Structures are given as C-alpha cells and as structure tokens.
C-alpha cells in the first residue's frame, strides 16, 4: 500500500483525479485505521490530507462554513457559538478526548456510519457539503450526500472540502442527546438532534428532528416535525411526533441494544429534547419537563 502525504489541496485533487478509484482519503484516521486493520477496506493508496491548512478554517461571515478538517474537539469547545449547540454536543460525544482531538467533521460525514453522532446535528441545521475535483465543485445537502450505511455520493475524484450550515435564525434552541452506556466513547444506541424555533407567543414556528442509530443512515422525520409546528409542545403534540418517528425508523438488534429498546426510549428522548430546546429559546418547558 502506498502512502501519499500532501499539504496542498491542488495536489490532493490531482492525485484523486488520476487514482481516485484506488485511493482512500485519510485525515484523522479514527475510522479508516480500524477499517484497514479489519480488512474492511483495501485501498492501493492512502492519501493523507491532514496537513492541508485551508481545510481547517471556520468562516462565520454570512453562512457558517466549516473546513472539512475542523476537529471534533474544536467543535466541542463551542467555537460556533450558542446557536449551534447541538453540533458542539454531538462532537463532544464522538469517542474520547484522543479521538476528538484528531477526528474531523469531514471524516465523520464521509464515513457515513448509521450511528455517526454529528450527522443528526448537521441535518437539523440543513447542512450542505462542498465537493471539489479538478473538474470543478458542487454542493450537496448532507441528507442527499449520505445515502446508506458507509455510502455517500462522493465521486472517486472528489474531496469534501467544507460543510455549510444554514442560519438558524433567532428565537430558537437546539440540542443533541445520545443514549448509550456512557455519554461518550460508546457508539450511540440512539442519537437524537432537535432544533425548534418559536413565535413570540410560544408557538413552534419551525421544527427539525433527526436521529442516528435507528436505520441504515441518519434521517430527518418530516412527519414528526410537522406534528410539532403550530403547537406549544402540548403532550398530544409530543406524542404525535414520537409516533411519527417510530413509523419512520427501521432499528435493528445489535450488541448495543435491541430494536425494541431503541423504540421504547425515543418518546422520552424526544420530550426531553423538546424541553431543552424550549428552555434554550427562553420558552416554558413542555409538561413533564422541569
């Protein structure tokens, strides 16, 4: 296996343009090295891009843009501010401190694990990814980029260079909650991100709900979101949202938990998330949340 290391984006794109079908892009390596050791991937070339400085920036002028090499640790420290707390919270649960220091947001997205912690938080912020090649660039919603378990629409000659977050606006709150044996260092049994925006009278104006570890890829639940819009988070609305989520998901039994357990924890998790979003937006928590 050949190792190619570069600190130049142009050089990385040239390598991918010529040998993309043989390449595995390597940044922090927290997922790739495990997959190599297990024989799950067998590339001819490892293209190490961690030293490309221009992929490490964060630009908050207008749309918020994250370079693909921004680390989980940077995000966990809250560099994006209070309007993107779900992203900070999701990044803070990706493995332990050592993993967070080297693991990157772009790597987590491209790995496309069904249990990836950052994906639900990105989905509730309508995140898009920019993919570059020598032929040009394109921007794709994360919801369309990740199409299945460890499967994306990235072409062999493309490199994910940035993630763009939609402006969440004002009068809102967001959160990421994870069910696991520990809050970090464990793969999520269920991960749930929520973002709610409110009218001045406390009515939910907009709702975003996304989950991980309940199917082959992270997903948004449009029907659950619709159940909350126009409500004041009354119990009936929360029950309807939870019911809608349960219709959307396809959990499986695995070593971490059963499909039945995953289904049973979702209603309580959703109610808790709604309460946190309301409190962060300066609203009253729903009934049952203090």
Residue-wise pLDDT for 209-223, tens only, equals: 999 999 999 999 999
Q: CA-to-CA distance for 96 and 246, rounded, in angstroms?
A: 30
> Distance of alpha carbon 80 from its chain centroid, rounded?
15
Least confidently predicted of 225-229, 269-273, 281-285: 281-285
pLDDT at 183 over 60: no
Q: How many CB atoms neighbour CB 172 within 10 A?
A: 22
pLDDT at 290 over 70: no
pLDDT at 117 over 90: yes
* pLDDT the model gives residue 184: 52
Tell me the whole-structure pTM to 2 decimals: 0.94
pLDDT at 169 over 90: no
What is the pLDDT confidence band of residue 288, given thresholds at 50, 70 and 90? low
* Residues making up the chain, counted from first to last: 290
* pLDDT the model gives residue 33: 85
Could you give all domains of the chain from N- to C-terminal order, each with its CATH number? 172-280 (3.30.390.50)
* pLDDT the model gives residue 54: 94
* Residue 87 near residue 118, CB atoms below 8 Å: yes
* pLDDT the model gives residue 89: 97
The two beta strands, 2-5 and 45-48, are parallel
* pLDDT the model gives residue 289: 58
Q: CA-to-CA distance for 137 and 108, rounded, in angstroms?
A: 20
Q: CA-to-CA distance for 75 and 66, rounded, in angstroms?
A: 10
Q: CA-to-CA distance for 257 and 190, rounded, in angstroms?
A: 9
Least confidently predicted of 27-41, 83-97, 226-240: 27-41
* pLDDT the model gives residue 197: 97
> Distance of alpha carbon 82 from its chain centroid, rounded?
17
């Amino acid at each position: 296996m050949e190792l190619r290391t570069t600190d130049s984006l142009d050089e990385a794109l040239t390598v991918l343009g010529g040998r993309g079908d043989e390449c595995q892009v390597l940044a922090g390596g927290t997922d790739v090295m495990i997959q190599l050791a297990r024989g799950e991937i067998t590339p001819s070339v490892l293209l190490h891009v961690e030293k490309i400085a221009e992929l490490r920036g964060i630009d908050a002028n207008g749309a918020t843009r994250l370079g693909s090499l921004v680390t989980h640790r940077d995000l966990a420290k809250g560099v994006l501010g209070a309007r993107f707390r779900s992203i900070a919270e999701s990044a803070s649960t990706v493995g332990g401190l050592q993993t967070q220091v080297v693991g990157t947001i772009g790597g987590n997205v491209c790995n496309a694990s069904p249990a990836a912690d950052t994906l639900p938080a990105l989905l509730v912020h309508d995140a898009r990814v920019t993919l570059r090649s020598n032929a040009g660039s394109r921007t794709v919603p994360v919801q369309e980029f990740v199409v299945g378990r460890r499967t994306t629409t990235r072409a062999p000659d493309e490199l994910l260079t940035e993630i763009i977050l939609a402006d969440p606006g004002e009068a809102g709150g967001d959160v990421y909650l994870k069910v696991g044996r520990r809050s970090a260092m464990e793969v999520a049994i269920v991960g749930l991100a929520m973002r709610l925006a409110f009218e001045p009278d406390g009515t939910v104006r907009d709702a975003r709900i996304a989950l991980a570890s309940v199917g082959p890829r992270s997903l948004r639940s449009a029907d659950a979101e619709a159940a909350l819009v126009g409500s004041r988070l009354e119990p009936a609305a929360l029950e309807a949202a939870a019911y809608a989520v349960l219709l959307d998901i396809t959990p499986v039994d695995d070593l971490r938990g059963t499909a039945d357990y995953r289904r049973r924890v979702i209603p309580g998790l959703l109610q808790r998330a709604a309460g946190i979003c309301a409190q962060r937006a300066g609203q009253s928590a729903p009934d049952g949340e203090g």
